Structure 1
C-alpha cells in the first residue's frame, strides 16, 4: 500500500471537511439537496475545507505518536487544542461534543488520562471513534490483548464506557486488515473472526453489551443472530446520529456500498445528522482501502492547513518508516 499514513490523515480530514457545512441536516433535506463537492459555510459558517474537532484530535494523536506513546503527552495535546487552539483549522475550536468537553475539564484538573472519560451509558457518543485511527500504526505488531488495551486506554481519555471501547476496537481491527492489503470483504470477515474469538476467550464485557454489535459481528458460520449483517441492510435501517454504534455501522455500510473513496465519503455525509463524523470515520477506512491517490486532489487542496497536514505526515513517517 502506498502512503497509508497520508491515506489515514487526509482520509479522515477530507471526510470531516465535507460534512462540516451540512452537519445536523436531515437525510430528507440532503436527498433534496445532495452534497456533491466540498463547499463552505452552512451549519458552522466556516470556509470550504474546514475540518472539525474530529480531525483536530486525530492530528493531536498523530503528534503524540510522532514522539512516543505516552497518554500524558496525548492529554497535553488535547488540552492544548481545547485551551490554546492547537491543531485547529482557523485558530478557534468551533465544534466539541459534550463528553469530550467534560473530559477536557477532568484532564485540566489533573485526572489520570484513563480516568478522564465518561463511563456512563449516556457517554457513548462517537468522540473517541472519530480520532482513534492513527493508533493502528503503533499497535499493528502487538498481540491482540495488547492492541485492545491500547485502544481502550486511548479511547478512555474521553470515552471510557466499554461500548465506545468495543466500537473503537472493531474499527481499528478492520483498519489493520485493510492496512495489510485485504479487500473490504476479506478485511471484514477477518475482523469478525479476530474480534469474536478475542471476546469469546476474554471476559471483557457482558454478552448483552457485545450483542449490541450483532449487525457487525454476526457470525455467518453458525447464524447465531437472526438479523442481517451490516452490508445487507437498507439505507432506512442505518442511523447516522452521534451515537458511537450508529457511526460505526453507518461508516462500514458506506464502505461496503460504495466503490471509491469519493463515493464512500459522499454517501456517508449524505446520510445526514452527524455528517462530519460519519464522513471522517468512513473516510479513514476508505483512505486505507483505496489509497491516498484516490482522494480527489481538489479536495485535498481545499483543506485548511493542508501543508501542515503534509508536514505532520512526513514526521509521522519518520517514526514509522515501514508505512511511508
Structure 2
C-alpha cells in the first residue's frame, strides 16, 4: 500500500517511496484515463505557473509553448503550484482512508498550508484567499475541539476517528457563502476518479469537497457539474456526449433532487462554445464560472490535449488554474498515452502522481465491490450522506 509521510517530516513528493497497486487490480483503459486526468491537471498547472497573472496581451506577444524555469514563482520547469498540491492532498486522503472523509481532507489541506505537505517546493505558496481563510477557520475549530478533548498536540486532533468527529458535531464546512472562486474546482479530479462507478456519489461528493473551502452555490455546483463530466469520461462517454448541450438533462439522475445553479446551467447548456475565444468573452479569471467556461472552451475548440492546454494557458490571468481545470477533463478523455512525452518527462514527481492515480482506480468505490476496509469506507460514506442532508436543508 502506498504510504504518505508525516507532514512534520518535510518529505518532498519526489522522495516518497513508490508502491504501485497490483496490476491485477487495474483496468488498463480506466487506468489510462485516471492517470491522464491527474497528470493532465499537473501539466496544466506546471505550464501555466510561470506566467500566472500575466495579461492576455503579454501572452499574445509571447505565448507559452513549453515548460520553462523561472517566471512568476521562480520554479524549475515542471514544478507545480497549489492546484496540484491540493489535488494530491485530496487523493492521498481517498487512498489512505479508502473512502470519503471530509475531516481528513481538511486536515491534509491544513498540512499543506502549515507544513508544505505534498508541495513541489516543500512550502505552501500561491494559496487563494478563500482557501487560506477557510483553513484558518478550520484550525480555530480544531483548537476548540483539542481543548474539549484535552489533547496535547495537533497531530492527536488531526488523527481523531470519524466517529469522534461525528459525535462532537464538528462542522468541517469552513467555506464562506461568498466564496465563488475556482480554488475547489482546480483540485477536484480525485473525487470523480474514485467514485466514477457510482456517478451519484461522484456528483454529491464533488460538491461536498467544494464546500470545505468555498461555500458559494456557484463554486459547489461548478464542481458537481465538472465531477459529472469527469465521471462520464472515465465511464467511456464520447466527446460529443460530454459537450452536448443536453448533458445535464441526459444525466439528471446523477444530480439528485438539487438542480444546478442558473449560472452553471448556462455553461452546461453551451455558453462556452465561442469560436473566437477571448474575443468572444472567454476569460481565464479566478471567478469559478469564468474558469469553468474557459476550460470547457479549450476542450471544445481543440482536438488534442496539447493544443487545448496551450490555449487555456494563453488566455492569461489565472493561467495555471485554467489549464489545470482543463487538464483534469482533457487528460481523462485523451488518456495518459496521448499526453506529450516532452512534458511528462519534465513534470516534477510524475512517478508519484502516476502511482496515486493508479491507486485511485484500484480502490475506486463500487456499490457492488467492497474494499479491504469496507467498514471504514462505509462509515465515512454514511457521515457524508448525513452532511449532504444537512447541506440540502441549507443550500
The residue that corresponds to 1:64 in the other structure is 93
Q: How does 1:1-324 map to 2 (within 5 A)?
A: 1=29, 2-67=31-96, 68=98, 69-110=100-141, 112=170, 114-120=172-178, 123-142=179-198, 144=200, 146-189=201-244, 191-194=247-250, 202-203=257-258, 210-218=261-269, 229-235=271-277, 236=279, 237-320=281-364
Q: Greater CA deviation, 171-180 or 105-114?
A: 105-114
Shift of 1:198: 6.8
Unmatched tracts of structure 2, length 5 or more: 1-28, 143-169, 367-395
TM-score calculated relative to the size of structure 2: 0.72
The residue that corresponds to 1:222 in the other structure is none
Larger radius of gyration: 2
Kindly tell me: are residues 143 and 290 of structure 1, through their superposed partners in 2, closer, same or farther at Cα, counting changes over 3 Å? closer
Shift of 1:314: 3.9
CA distance in 1 between partners of 2:40 and 2:47 (Å)? 11
CA distance in 1 between partners of 2:89 and 2:273 (Å)? 32
Shift of 1:152: 2.1
CA distance in 2 between partners of 1:71 and 1:58 (Å)? 14
CA distance in 2 between partners of 1:118 and 1:180 (Å)? 33
Shift of 1:305: 1.9
Kindly tell me: are residues 192 and 308 of structure 1, through their superposed partners in 2, closer, same or farther at Cα, counting changes over 3 Å? same
CA distance in 2 between partners of 1:97 and 1:175 (Å)? 24
8 Å Cα contact 2:192-2:203 kept in structure 1: no
The secondary structure found in structure 2 opposite 1:315 is helix
8 Å Cα contact 2:194-2:365 kept in structure 1: no
Kindly tell me: are residues 113 and 157 of structure 1, through their superposed partners in 2, closer, same or farther at Cα, counting changes over 3 Å? farther
Shift of 1:149: 2.9
8 Å Cα contact 1:173-1:191 kept in structure 2: no
CA distance in 1 between partners of 2:116 and 2:59 (Å)? 31
TM-score calculated relative to the size of structure 1: 0.87
The secondary structure found in structure 1 opposite 2:306 is helix
Shift of 1:71: 1.2
User: Which structure carries more helix by proportion?
Assistant: 1
CA distance in 1 between partners of 2:291 and 2:251 (Å)? 18
CA distance in 1 between partners of 2:321 and 2:181 (Å)? 11
CA distance in 1 between partners of 2:47 and 2:171 (Å)? 31
Shift of 1:138: 3.0
CA distance in 1 between partners of 2:190 and 2:254 (Å)? 22
1:204-236 CA distance string (max 9 Å, x none) = 57xxxx322354233xxxxxxxxx732245312
Q: Greater CA deviation, 4-13 or 228-237?
A: 228-237
Alpha-carbon RMSD across the aligned residues, in angstroms, is 2.2
- Give the count of matched residue pairs: 305
CA distance in 1 between partners of 2:87 and 2:127 (Å)? 13
Unmatched tracts of structure 1, length 5 or more: 219-227
